[in-house]
Amino acid sequence: MAKPKVFTKELILTALATGSGVVSFGWNTGCLNSAQESIEPWIIESYHHRTGITLSHYVLTFIWSTTIAIFAIGGAIGVFAASPVSRRYGRRGDLLKAKLGIIAAAFMVLGIECGLYAGLCTMYLSEVSPKSIRGMIGSLTGLCAYSGLMVAEIVSTPKMLGTDSRWPLIMVIAALPSVTQFMLLQFCHEIPRFL
């Protein structure tokens, strides 16, 4: 008797769809680090243009720290929301119906989206994988997150997009993994556990 095929087209599609969402987690973790020196002058200029007040170094540091820390706060909210949301909509259903990635990228409220991805993508992948390769497929989420982080760190350097004129493109790119995931998930199946 022939062994059943382990790596099916459906599993590969699901892994690509889920992994592309987790790339967003890595991207948004590292995209602003290298571009800080290009973004801070924009913050100072924008604040002065709106209020007529020049920011002190301490206030600028507070604004920058808040900008970076809000991602982690949103991530904590998203991770804690992943379980109840997945019970309500299902793993695939939540990634589609409660899709925050495209909206989050537009408003730069990415922490909640990435927190949901951290929980939901791992659950979805582990539940659609055959038992014999579940660990390998489950580790895909970590690989995708770190790949997104690495690419973000490279792309946001001053030699690439981390300049005064190009740093907004870093924010635009944040939407690409979410759009990719949304399109690919249309062809994936819901898992039996939710059904």
Q: pLDDT tens for residues 102-160?
A: 565 555 567 777 888 888 888 888 888 888 898 888 889 889 999 999 999 999 999 99
- Of 82, 167, 147, give the one whose Cα is nearest residue 121: 82
Q: What's the whole-number average pLDDT of the chain?
A: 83
What tokens were used for 49?
Answer: 């243009």
Q: Is the pLDDT of residue 69 over 80?
A: yes
State the Rg of the chain over Cα.
Answer: 19
8 Å CB contact between 38 and 167: yes
Q: Is the pLDDT of residue 1 over 70?
A: no
The CA-atom distances, in angstroms, between 184 and each of 12, 46, 178, 189 are 11, 38, 10, 11
Please state the pTM of the whole predicted model: 0.81
Q: What is the pLDDT of residue 160?
A: 93
Domains and CATH numbers, the chain: 9-183 (1.20.1250.20)
